[in-house]
Amino acid sequence: MRTALLLLALSCGPPAAAQTISGHAYAIDGDTLDMAGQRIRLFGVDAPESMQTCEKGRTAWACGQEAKRLLAQMVEGRAVSCTAGDRDHYGRIVATCYAGQSDLSGVLVREGLAIALPQFTGDYVAFQARAKQYGLGLWSSNFQTPGDFRQANPALFAAKAPKANVAVAARPTAARRVAASTSSWSYRNCAQARAAGAAPLYRGQPGYGAHMDGDGDGIACEPYRR
């Protein structure tokens, strides 16, 4: 693991001026949430990237999507509370987040779908040791650490960093929606996105298209709700 690069990539020190953010959340990837347009990076852990695959028995396993799926399941329909303060170099708030009594970072590490970052906190080291002992999640496969994956694929993350001001308009203009949808490839429809395990999709994320975002809120192929 390239520790120095990982430290630069994740400015995850303990929040200096803690604040609490509460509400409903969507999983962007295995360790990132969207809460009312704010991107929140889970503190103390690193999950495989959404497009990252691992190898199980010489077969590719979509470990990044599996981590995202677990995080999405934990927050679906539940109030999430995050204690936050710092921001990473992508502009995301770094926070410890709970859904009910469940520490989201802790569950991800315990299930083997994120690695602990002991240089920032020792809270999840024991969870990781147990996951490794029982061969759970990533520890049942051959995998690159997420930091090494980002290092090896810089082009995939070149456009990820937001502007210095990360405020997001609640309802972007039609022109902005068209620009977002044409800036990269997109799925033909939500059925295709769901079949690929990529839904929901967020504006600016690979695969997102405004034609799948009927209410223009920047989230395409949202979960069905009664």
Task: Dump pLDDT digits (tens) for 104-153.
Answer: 999 999 999 999 999 999 999 999 999 999 999 999 999 999 999 999 98
| Domains annotated on the chain, with CATH | 3-155 (2.40.50.90), 169-220 (no CATH)
Of residues 151, 125, 203, 204, the one with CA closest to residue 10: 151
Which amino acid is residue 225, in one-letter code? R
Q: How far is Cα 21 from Cα 98, in angstroms, rounded to an integer?
A: 11
Task: Enumerate residues 6+ apart whose C-beta is below 8 A from 149.
Answer: 48, 49, 52
- 9-46 tens-digit pLDDT: 344 444 445 689 999 999 999 999 999 889 999 999 99
Distances from the Cα of 131 to the Cαs of 40, 96, 110, 181, in angstroms? Answer: 25, 20, 6, 39
> By the 8 A CB rule, do 173 and 180 touch?
no
Tokens read off for 203:
């504006």
Q: Which helix (H) or strand (E) holds 190?
A: helix 190-195
Whether the bond between 223 and the residue before it is cis, its omega within 30 degrees of 0, is no
The pTM (predicted TM-score) of the whole model is: 0.65
What does the pLDDT read at residue 206?
Answer: 62
Mean pLDDT across the stretch 174-184? 34
> By the 8 A CB rule, do 208 and 202 touch?
yes
> By the 8 A CB rule, do 190 and 199 touch?
yes
